[in-house]
Structure 1
Amino acid sequence: MADSDRAAGTSVSLTLQDRPRPERADAARNRRILLDAAARILRDDGVAALSMETVAAAAGVGIGTVYRRFGDRSGLAYALLDQHERTFQAGFMFGAPPLGPGAPAADRLHAFLHRCVDLLSEQAEILAMAESSSQHYQTGAYGVRRRHISMLLDEINPELDATYLADALLATLSGRLFLHQNTDDGMSADRIKSGLDQLLRGITG
């Protein structure tokens, strides 16, 4: 296993890094009911229809229950993305190369960035909703992605400011930016990947 994967350790979800203790069975069941209701709204009516009120109505609970569980709309969005993020983390930390261990760092970083674009093609709207939180940079997922990119960059060239560059690369992979590029400017996912390749060549030489 590569150094980046040893340091990253086990997968970390999209929730805040200071995570609560494991849920009781009844609390976990109630959370699942709320998330299932939210997922149905998202599938049938889109992100615009997703609110604390609509989730409460669909789940047959009081709106206070939804706020206590998720805090706000961005917290709800993070919870909906959580399993997708865990699957992605498993891929880049433990999966097959070039995304996972066993390939050169430059190839792994290239595969990582391209996979992020693929995920944005599927999840940009809900991710943009999640990113509205002021705590976005404190989420576990952001920290894991940042650490993974910075360790790969450090392996490519130890003289790079890997932490700063990791933040810079992640900024190009926001849901809001992708929606602007893809929807407003008509950039395809392939064009965005090509631009990332150019950016990466400029960074790594």
Structure 2
Amino acid sequence: MAQERADAARNRAKILAAAAEIVATSGMKGLAMADVAAASGVGIGTLYRRFGDRSGLAYALIDEKEREFQQAFLTGPPPLGPGAPEIERVRAFLYALTDRTFAQLDLLLMAETAGEFARFGGAYEAYHQHLVVLIARIRPEADAGFLADALLAPIAANLIVHRGRAAPAVKAGLDALLTGLG
């Protein structure tokens, strides 16, 4: 993989910061390529060459936060990262995933509904596998794959929007589900 030029890396960071600010204040509907170019101080051509279109830019925003999140649960400090009892790690993971989902709700809603199986891509598989490992240690006799899916289901962006639930309500529901696990 070729190393990114320093000026390209700076432009990428400025573009993503500007786009994140626009999404935070105006939602996904407010994410216009011309506005991002103006806010970041880069040319519109640079923006299109780098990200292709609005959805490419949205996926780049998701990817940046996704990398940070995965790093946290794989190698970060406990209880989210290794070193805490498994049930505490599951709870910390689900809470952090809930927070992560609400932080990028518009973007994740767009990404998760882009196609029939869009929600079940690489990130979902990483979450699922992480939970399967932890659940298998807590309840070796259980169907860890099924339980992982059951715990991840309430954190789907489209379900959160459809039900109109707030983060505390989602976390309370997850706690209720976890009482049967631990």
Q: 1:29 to 1:120 in 2, by over 3 A?
A: same
Judge conservation of contact 1:128–1:176 (CA < 8 Å) in 2: yes
Residue 149 (structure 1) aligns with: 131
Q: 1:171 to 1:71 in 2, by over 3 A?
A: farther
Q: Deviations over 1:45-67 (max 9, x none)?
A: 3322114454355555346x545
Instruction: Say which structure, 1 or 2, has more relative contact order (CA 8 Å, 6+ apart).
Output: 1
Q: 1:70 to 1:151 in 2, by over 3 A?
A: farther
Q: What is the CA-CA distance between 1:41 and the residue it aligns to?
A: 2.1
Judge conservation of contact 1:98–1:108 (CA < 8 Å) in 2: yes
**Could you list the runs of 5+ residues in structure 2 that have no partner in the other structure?**
none
How many percent identity over aligned positions?
49
Q: Distance in 1 between matches of 2:113 and 2:68?
A: 23
Q: What is the CA-CA distance between 1:133 and the residue it aligns to?
A: 3.1
Residue 90 (structure 2) aligns with: 109
Q: Distance in 1 between matches of 2:168 and 2:157?
A: 16
Residue 198 (structure 1) aligns with: 176
Q: 1:43 to 1:121 in 2, by over 3 A?
A: closer
Q: Distance in 1 between matches of 2:21 and 2:96?
A: 25
Q: What is the CA-CA distance between 1:169 and the residue it aligns to?
A: 2.5
Q: 1:172 to 1:75 in 2, by over 3 A?
A: farther
Residue aligned with 1:149, SS:
helix
Q: 1:119 to 1:62 in 2, by over 3 A?
A: closer
Q: What is the CA-CA distance between 1:162 and the residue it aligns to?
A: 2.2
Paired residue total: 179
The TM-score with structure 1 as length reference comes to 0.69
**Could you list the runs of 5+ residues in structure 1 that have no partner in the other structure?**
1-19
Judge conservation of contact 1:125–1:179 (CA < 8 Å) in 2: no
Judge conservation of contact 1:105–1:153 (CA < 8 Å) in 2: yes
Q: Deviations over 1:160-192 (max 9, x none)?
A: 33234323322321222222333xxxx442222
- Correspondence 1:1-205 to 2 at 5 A: 22-52=3-33, 54-56=35-37, 58-59=39-40, 60-62=42-44, 66-134=47-115, 135-139=118-122, 141-182=123-164, 187-202=165-180, 204=181
Q: 1:37 to 1:166 in 2, by over 3 A?
A: same
Q: 1:189 to 1:44 in 2, by over 3 A?
A: closer
Judge conservation of contact 2:86–2:137 (CA < 8 Å) in 1: yes
Q: Which moved further from structure 2: 53-62 or 110-119?
A: 53-62
Q: Distance in 2 between matches of 1:23 and 1:53?
A: 24
The TM-score with structure 2 as length reference comes to 0.76
Q: What is the CA-CA distance between 1:159 and the residue it aligns to?
A: 2.8
